Each structure stands twice: as C-alpha cells, then as structure tokens.
Copies of this chain bind each other. A is one copy, B any other.
Amino acid sequence: MVVHEEEPFNAETGLAALGEGPLTATDAFYVRGHATVPEIDPGGWRLHVHGLVERELDLSLVTLREAFVEREVTATLQCAGNRRTGLMAIREIPGEEPWGAGATGTATWTGVALADVLALARPLREAGHVGFAGTDLCSEAKPAQRFGGSIPLDKACRPEVLLVWAMNGEPLPLVHGAPLRVIVPGYIGARSVKWLARIEVRSRPWDGYFQNIAYRLLPPGGTPGPGAGLPLGLVALNSDVLSPADGETVAAGPVEVRGYAFAGGERHVARVDVSIDDGASWSQAELLEDLGRWAWRRWTMTLELTPGEHEILVRAWDSSAATQPEDHATLWNPKGYVNNARPRVRVRAAAPAIGQAGVRDDPTSTHPSTRTR
C-alpha cells in the first residue's frame, strides 16, 4: 500500500495489487480515515436507530446476526478523491490527500440489509433520508464531530445497501469499520460510514460537515462553505489503466493492457475503448468477469506496440451511452474531487536486445509499478 498519512491513517492500494484480480485483497484495500481509528468493545456496542421512525431500536451485533437475513454484495468502493493527483498536476490543491489510482477497490461484503432494519423501525411519512453516524471523532471538522452522511430513503430501502460485519469472507478489520459499517453500492465511499454508531431517519439530507461542507463539488473559483457546491453521492463513470504503469518501459510487440471501469450509481459499464493515436481511432477492449451491477468491470486488450514512445488513452461508456470527459484540466475543482477524465498512460516500447527476441512474448516482462497517478 501507498501510505499518504499515518494519523489519521490514509493509504491507497498499489497499482500491482489493484490489478491482481477481480476482488481486492483485504489487506491491500484502500483506507480513507478522518480521525483516529476508534476502539470499540463489540460486546457493549449497540446500533441505535432513531429519528423519523415509529419504533426506535437499539440492536446488538448478536441480534443483528440472529434476527435478520444474512446478505452479501460484491461492490466497488471509490473515494471521491480518487485520481486527485491528476488534478493536482494542473494546479495545487492544499490540504487534501494526494490520491493516485488506488483509492478504489472491490470486495464482497456480508451483513444484513439496511432495508430490513428500517422495516422494523418503520420510517414515518415525512422521512426522506437515512443518515449514518460513525464513532470516529473528527477534529478536521469545526466543530469537531463524528463522521457521518446520508442517502435518500429510496436508495436506503434497496436490497444492495447493507450493514456489514465481514469483508471478503473474513471478519471486517478494525481499520475498515468493525464491528459494523454501512456499504452503499454505487455511491462515493464517504457514504459507506465506518464504525457505525447510529442511524437517523430524517426529512432532509445530513447537515454535518462531511456532507454539507466537505465532499461537495465546487466550481473552479468556489470556496467551501455550508451548502456550497453540489453534493457528491453517486459515483461518476470512471476508468483507469492498471497495467502497464505510466512511464513504464515494455518490450515492443504485443503488450497486454489491463484496467477497470466503474459506471457508478445504478448503471453498468457498456463498453471500453482504447486508443494509441490520441483518440483518432479506438479499439474495443474485452470486458472480463461480470461481478454484477455494483462492481467495477475489469477489461483487457493486447496492443501491438512498435519501438518508441506511446500514449495509451482509454474511455469507458456506461449504460446510458455516456462516456468520460476528455481532459482533466477542465475538471479541476478546489477540493479535487471526481477526476473522471479519460486516463492516459505513457509507455516506452523497447526493441528487443539481440539474442533476446523471445522476451516480447513473455507477458511477465511488464514490470509492476507502485507509481501513483
């Protein structure tokens, strides 16, 4: 992992680990934190459900496990700041983590449906949003407050939104939110609140710092403030190249390019195009295993690269036939969110040395890199 900050702990997945398989290894999965990881006694822990409900709940982990149907979802999480370094290269973005390509990952999550818990609490007619408050006390916010956020009630009642205690078939690690976190597939990672303490059914969206001031897209000249900018929620269509790495030298000849695309929201990836002539012509990548509508779609393509410098350009298309914007320069914003420009990777294809012509057929000859983009 590439550690950006030790306290609070913030680290992203290295490019090699990100490209390894359809699911991201738990110990390599990116961590975005805004405070010291809280220590929680699972035995004494309770989930408090309150607000606009007919019946308040205080549920133990045992009750959650025993009284509700266990469900599983394979979902991609993606930090709203993923690929921020591309925006930082345009103009500086002080005070924000320099996320490269690895503030995203895909895992299988196990727990109970939020909808089932809400059905027991029975939201009132004026309910419109479901808020989540964590245990982590964040001094970054003024005043200091627990991390939190909300999603529309409509989304909260869909079967894919889970309260989870397991990740990739193992108990949820503390750093990923144990004993219980929310998973909101299709939404920015910030809504998948960790160390969940309470669920508040509300008439209006969350008014805490992390939704009303942070995690909002400001216009280029904007200033963060309550309600300024548009609230982030659904993940925007995005993609990235996971191999070869930007700046890598590969053997000329056939070169396998691999990456992922993620449609976000409720959409799916419909097509991925690759160009090595700056978009003058495009070829369609092969889409790999379909993990369902809540997960990224990995893709691959073999390019025939002549000796010399090449730029690999990629664009994904979602199920509305929308594609990514061309240029990350036009996406720059003061907090550095949502860089979903078409990714570009520069590689140098080296002619084989005399007597080593066979190397060009060796797929392991591309060198993994931990360089972040």
What residues of chain A have their CB less than 8 Å away from a CB belonging to chain B? 217, 219-221, 230, 232-237, 264-267, 270-271, 273, 279, 281-282, 284, 317, 319-327, 330-331, 337-338, 340
Contact = CB atoms under 8 A, between A and B. Distances in A.
8 contacts: A219-B271, A219-B284, A236-B322, A237-B320, A265-B265, A265-B267, A265-B320, A323-B325
Contacts of A234: 267, 319-321
Tallying the copies of this chain within the complex gives 2
A271 B327 CA distance: 19
Sorted from nearest, which 3 A-B pairs have the closest CB atoms?
A234-B320, A236-B322, A230-B270
A236 B338 contact: no
A327 B330 contact: no
Contacts of A232: 321
A338 B320 CA distance: 9
Contacts of A217: 270-271, 317, 321
Given A219-B271, A233-B319, A326-B327, 19 more contacts: A217-B271, A217-B321, A219-B284, A230-B271, A230-B319, A235-B320, A236-B320, A237-B320, A264-B320, A265-B266, A322-B322, A322-B325, A322-B338, A323-B325, A323-B331, A324-B325, A325-B325, A325-B326, A326-B326
Contacts of A236: 320-322
Nearest to A331: B323
